[in-house]
Structure 1
Amino acid sequence: MLSNIRIVLVQTFHPGNIGAAARAMKTMGLTNLVLVNPRCFPDEEATRLAAGATDVLENARVVTSLEDAVQDCVQVVGASARLRSLPLPHFDEPDEMVQQVILNATDAPVALVFGRERSGLTNDEIRCCTHQVSIPANPEYGILNLSQAVQILAYETHRAWRQHDENDFTYQRPLEATPPTREQFIHFQDHLSRLMQQSGFLTQPHARTEEQLQALFARAQPSRKELSLLRGLLSAFEAHLPRQ
């Protein structure tokens, strides 16, 4: 599904923005990049700012017109900071847009189109689109860098894809730590109690200090390995106590 979602950059002026956009794409699982008449590509600045997403750059396709970039797409969404008078369906919120994009991308290519850094997309280029989308921002300063706009829409796309019933996405999680047995935990508590008494830490027999410390470790739920480290620490302290 994600491989059917194409990011199209039109006449990008700064090659660094191409690299930053590639990085934004790859972090969200998007790899299909098409460049329409970039001023300078390939370029060292693009590679530098891609920061590990050089495979996206290496596989990018360069074409001479937006029509060439999207002619096989069933949906073409133009990202625009300004509302136009053209009668195209307009998404006021990116999350509404990506729900439709994800469904269409199940069976066919779709494109998210971004214009020039300074002037965006022309009216003729908007006419190549089937929809428009705006990114809500501060009305007094709603200017987004090109790669920032790509990152926002790429994130919304990935979020919608994660929530789709047919994907098998799972977060990378640390391996589950093995909890200690009840016997191991009791041995630790006995060791802690013995050391507190031998060290003179417990000076008031009726105080609840020991109880409170045992409750603290119970709440912390240390793993078997962590409990072993704590036992080693207690043993190291115990070795420095005077023999009784």
Structure 2
Amino acid sequence: MLSNIRIVLVQTYHPGNIGASARAMKTMGLTDLVLVNPRRYPDPEASRLAAGAEDLVDQARVVASLEEAVADCVQVVGASARLRSLPLPHFDEPDAMAGELVGHAAHDPVALVFGRERFGLTNDEIRCCSHQVSIPANPDYGILNLAQAVQVLAYEAFKAWRRRPESDYRPARPAGERQPTREQLGHFHDHLGRVMQASGFLTQPHARTEAQLQALFARARPSRKELSLLRGLLGSLERHLPDK
């Protein structure tokens, strides 16, 4: 579905904005980048600002016109900072746009179109679109950098996609942040209890100290790595306790 969402940049002036837009795309799982008559491409500045998304820059397609860029798309949304008099459906909120766009992308290619840094899309280019979208911003200063605009709308598309049941989205979790199993937690609490008993910290067999500490760690939800550190601390303390 995300592979059907195309980002189209029209006559980009600064090559760095191509790279920054590619980076914004890649963070949101988008890979289809089309450039309409870029001023300079390829260019080292585009690759430099891609910062890990050089593959998207390298595989970007260059076309001569917006019509060519979106010819196979069933929905084409032009990003515009200002309303036009053209009778096109207009999305006032990007999330509403993204929900509809992703729905179409389930079966067919769609496109988000961004104009030039200085003056955006022309009226003729807007006519190539099926819809318009604006990004709500400070009315006293509503100017977004090209890559920032790509990031906002790419994020909305990604959010709409991951909320669909068929996306099966699961955020990546580093190994050190994985939650411990119940068995691992049980071994930790047994270890903690042994050290508290051996150290003389627990002097009343019926006190609720152990239960309160278990509740504390349940609220803290230590990761596997953190639990391992705690077990290491307990082991070190245990080695310094006098033998009975």
Give the whole-Å Cα distance in 2 for the aligned partners of 1:111 and 1:167. Answer: 20
Matching of residues 89-108 of structure 1 within 5 Å = 89-108=89-108
Determine the structure 2 residue equivalent to 1:84: 84
Superposed structure 1 runs of 4+ greater than 3 Å apart: 179-184, 210-214, 221-227
Give the whole-Å Cα distance in 1 for the aligned partners of 2:147 and 2:69. Answer: 19
Cα distance per residue 1:7-49 (max 9 Å; x no partner): 0000111111100000000010100000011111111111011
Larger mean Cα displacement after TM superposition, 150-159 or 229-238: 229-238
Shift of 1:108: 1.1
Q: Secondary structure at the match of 2:34?
A: strand
Cα distance per residue 1:53-112 (max 9 Å; x no partner): 111111100011111111111111000000000110000000111111111111111110
Structure 1 residue 188 corresponds to structure 2 residue 184: no
- Structure 1 residue runs of 5 or longer lacking an equivalent are none
Q: Secondary structure at the match of 1:149?
A: helix
Q: 1:184 and 1:145, CA in 2 relative to 1: closer, same or farther beyond 3 A? A: closer
If the length of structure 2 is used for normalisation, what is the TM-score? Answer: 0.86
Contact 2:93 2:136 in 1 (8 A): yes
Cα distance per residue 1:201-234 (max 9 Å; x no partner): x9xx78x9x8557623542146663553232131
What letter matches 2:193 in structure 1? Q
Determine the structure 2 residue equivalent to 1:231: 234
Identity of aligned residues (%): 61
Give the whole-Å Cα distance in 2 for the aligned partners of 1:69 and 1:218. Answer: 58
RMSD across aligned C-alpha pairs, in angstroms?
2.5
Query: For this pair of structures, how many residues does the alignment match?
Result: 233
If the length of structure 1 is used for normalisation, what is the TM-score? Answer: 0.86
Determine the structure 2 residue equivalent to 1:9: 9
Determine the structure 2 residue equivalent to 1:41: 41
Give the whole-Å Cα distance in 2 for the aligned partners of 1:181 and 1:30. Answer: 40
Shift of 1:236: 4.2
